[in-house]
């Protein structure tokens, strides 16, 4: 059924007004330097880990914390407790069920902070943890962190040996974020446990009779069994191995860590690796007033938001990413003033990577180019950000056109060099797909590797096509074939970096359309039909993070960002005037606030599937603007001039 012309005209007028309000709101949010930057929020595990960091760096004296530390711990306690579920546990995404690992971390932090175990909130939390399987069911990083204080037996916590540094380029077969975490962690773990207050333990969280040993569900002749055996060997090596070898490994780990904090705002510019660097420098004997220690703690503390009303840690910063998306959305709407866009372009060009990073281990002869996600992270430009910045720069013209053209050329060359053998694109590395590494004991964060994924591949296809690369180019054909191979049976695509199948599907469709795929092809028609089939009754779209656990789409309440993604996917599939599309546009218009922005209570970004999710606070505003602008363009309308 098609929408009638009068209704469409009325909708178009309302849509244009909504676009103008959204554009004004975003332009008002632009920073003086030219960039956009929204909050990035997650779950309670960040605040919980911060309490453990205080125990490591500023332990209490006879059970009494020094006043500044005590104040921070009190704030952490309140921030954690505010997010407790009714059953006593803690979620890893808003509205989600209690998660065993997040709940154990919270219990450790809260008990350490002095909340009595008899407190009703603690008894509910303990009972919830036991009902979920107890400490034995927590993930490996929880067990490692607990073992650093001897509240979980070290013999049953995975070993992260610094000797990994002596195995050639093995560390570069792990994902960039994994290597940034495990290298400083290996230094920390090798130093031996730190004391806890007298009488402190977590014995009440262990389920009696349940073994602590690592499970092996893959059989005797398996990689899992091989790595479990290797873990036992490393544990014996820690006790009886040659100290000279250990010292050589520690020295290499230390040097790698220090080298990678240069030209970056912290190692990897992400919370866990930055936290372990602070601890590792302490283990290595760096005094607190050493420049490296001061800088590491400063960069880590910068992740804290404490403005008197809010107290939380951001897992990282997202200014390049946010700026590129907003610039693209404003440009597609055609209503951004030139000075604002030029200022944004100038700022983004200042963030171009011009040094070789970890990616160059596999691509040593490629010129540096592209962009990272944060304010500074020179070792880790990423493919997704680079493609998104290219799309943003399509509309944002720098005052230095020669510099912009050169940066665009370098970025395109770098992207082409980072295409995987399978035709797809990953996040930070190329052909990072040693699947057997998923069997190591500390790989249960579900992100040991960085394989190609449909969402990034779709965005790269769009970016390359926008800059003139035709469908018959070998790189384009390989990427298109990758997307055709990875389409799900129901017509959707998996989304690695956004929740989940709606995200993957909209980006795959946009990439295929940009590459010249006909919207009459069966795979395009199936994807469009899938998007229409999952629309909510209120006209919007929503998907739960539970999709990752179920390996298939799980419905969620409608959100502004996911509704925008679905609209963008439908239009890319050739749908420009269906009732489904119309209702989606109406949903965005009806839910827009008077100030031009949207509300969104749920997490629609993905860090580690089934482990860590993200709420990008600008997604709710930038993607609806892009969707509404794209809808107007598909009808040959819009593109006003906002002065």
The closest alpha carbon to 263, from 154, 166, 374, belongs to 374
Quick check: helix, strand or coil at residue 498? strand
Quick check: helix, strand or coil at residue 521? coil
Measured CA to CA, the distance from residue 294 to residue 390 in angstroms comes to: 36
Measured CA to CA, the distance from residue 457 to residue 514 in angstroms comes to: 12
Q: What one-character DSSP code corresponds to residue 61?
A: B
Measured CA to CA, the distance from residue 251 to residue 255 in angstroms comes to: 6
The closest alpha carbon to 432, from 449, 445, 416, belongs to 449
384 is catalytic: yes
Measured CA to CA, the distance from residue 75 to residue 310 in angstroms comes to: 10
Measured CA to CA, the distance from residue 200 to residue 357 in angstroms comes to: 43
Residue 305 gets the label, from left (phi > 0), alpha (psi -120 to 50) or beta, of beta
Q: Quick one: angle between helices 45-57 and 271-283, nearest 10? A: 10
User: What residues are paired with 84 via a beta bridge?
Assistant: 90
As a residue count, the chain comes to 643
Catalytic residue from among 43, 231, 322, 384: 384
CB 438 within 8 Å of CB 488: no
**Cβ count within 10 A of residue 586:** 17
Tokens 């490591």 found at: 56
Buried b (16+ CB within 10 A) or exposed e, 252-285: bbbebbbebbeebbbbbbbbbbbbbbbbbbbbbe
CB 588 within 8 Å of CB 626: no
Measured CA to CA, the distance from residue 396 to residue 341 in angstroms comes to: 5
Tokens of 548: 């990752």
Helix (H) or strand (E) holding 543: strand 541-543
Measured CA to CA, the distance from residue 397 to residue 412 in angstroms comes to: 17
Measured CA to CA, the distance from residue 217 to residue 500 in angstroms comes to: 28
Residues acting as catalytic residues? 384
């Amino acid at each position: 059924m098609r929408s009638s012309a009068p209704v469409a005209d009325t909708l178009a007028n309302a849509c244009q007004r909504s676009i103008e309000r959204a554009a004004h709101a975003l332009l008002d949010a632009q920073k003086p330097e030219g960039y956009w930057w929204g909050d990035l929020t997650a779950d309670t595990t960040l605040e919980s880990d911060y309490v453990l960091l205080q125990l490591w760096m500023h332990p209490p004296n006879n059970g009494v914390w020094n006043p500044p530390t005590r104040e921070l711990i009190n704030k952490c306690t309140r921030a954690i407790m505010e997010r407790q579920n009714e059953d006593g546990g803690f979620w890893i995404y808003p509205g989600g069920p209690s998660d065993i690992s997040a709940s154990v971390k919270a219990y450790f932090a809260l008990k350490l902070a002095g909340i009595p175990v008899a407190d009703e909130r603690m008894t509910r939390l303990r009972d919830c943890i036991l009902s979920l399987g107890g400490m034995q069911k927590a993930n490996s990083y929880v067990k490692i962190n607990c073992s650093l204080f001897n509240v979980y037996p070290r013999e049953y916590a995975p070993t992260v040996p610094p000797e990994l540094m002596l195995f050639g380029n093995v560390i570069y077969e792990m994902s960039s974020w994994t290597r940034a975490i495990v290298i400083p962690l290996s230094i920390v773990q090798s130093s031996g446990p730190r004391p806890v207050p007298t009488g402190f333990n977590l014995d009440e969280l262990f389920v009696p009779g349940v073994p602590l040993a690592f499970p092996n569900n893959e059989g005797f002749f398996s990689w899992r069994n091989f790595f479990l055996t290797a873990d036992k060997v490393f544990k014996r090596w820690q006790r009886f191995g040659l100290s000279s070898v250990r010292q050589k490994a520690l020295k290499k780990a230390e040097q790698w860590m220090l080298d990678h904090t240069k030209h970056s705002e912290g190692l990897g510019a992400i919370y866990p690796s930055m936290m372990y660097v602070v601890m590792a420098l302490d283990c290595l004997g760096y005094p607190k007033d050493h420049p490296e220690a001061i800088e590491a703690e400063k960069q880590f503390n910068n992740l804290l938001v404490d403005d008197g009303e809010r107290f939380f840690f951001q897992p990282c910063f997202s200014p390049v990413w946010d700026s590129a998306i907003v610039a693209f959305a404003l440009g597609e709407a055609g209503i951004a003033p030139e000075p604002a866009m030029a200022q944004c372009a100038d700022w983004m060009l200042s963030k171009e990577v011009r040094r070789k990073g970890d990616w160059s281990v596999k691509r040593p002869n490629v010129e540096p180019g592209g962009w990272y996600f944060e304010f500074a992270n020179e070792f880790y430009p990423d493919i997704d950000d680079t493609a998104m910045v290219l799309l943003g720069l399509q509309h944002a013209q720098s005052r230095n056109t020669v510099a912009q053209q050169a940066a665009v050329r370098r970025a395109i060359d770098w992207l082409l060099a980072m295409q995987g053998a399978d035709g797809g694109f990953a996040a930070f590395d190329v052909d990072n797909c040693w699947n057997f590494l998923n069997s190591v004991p500390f790989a249960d964060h579900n992100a040991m590797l960085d394989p190609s994924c449909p969402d990034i591949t779709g965005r790269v296809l769009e970016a390359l096509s926008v800059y003139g690369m035709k469908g018959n180019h070998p790189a384009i054909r390989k990427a298109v074939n990758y997307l055709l191979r990875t389409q799900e049976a129901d017509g959707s695509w998996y989304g690695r970096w956004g929740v989940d199948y709606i995200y993957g599907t909209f980006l795959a469709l946009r990439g295929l359309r940009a590459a010249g795929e006909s919207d009459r092809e069966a795979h395009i028609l199936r994807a469009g039909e899938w998007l229409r089939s999952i629309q909510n009754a209120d006209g919007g779209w929503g998907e739960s993070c539970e999709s990752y656990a179920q390996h298939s789409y799980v419905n969620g309440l409608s959100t502004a960002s996911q509704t925008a993604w679905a609209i963008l996917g439908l239009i890319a599939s050739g749908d420009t005037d269906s009732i489904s599309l119309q209702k989606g546009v109406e949903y965005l218009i009806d839910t827009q606030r008077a100030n031009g922005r949207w509300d969104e209570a749920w997490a629609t970004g993905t860090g580690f599937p089934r482990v860590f999710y993200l709420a990008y606070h600008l997604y709710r505003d930038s993607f609806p603007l892009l969707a509404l602008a794209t809808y107007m363009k598909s009808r040959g309308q819009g593109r006003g001039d906002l002065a």
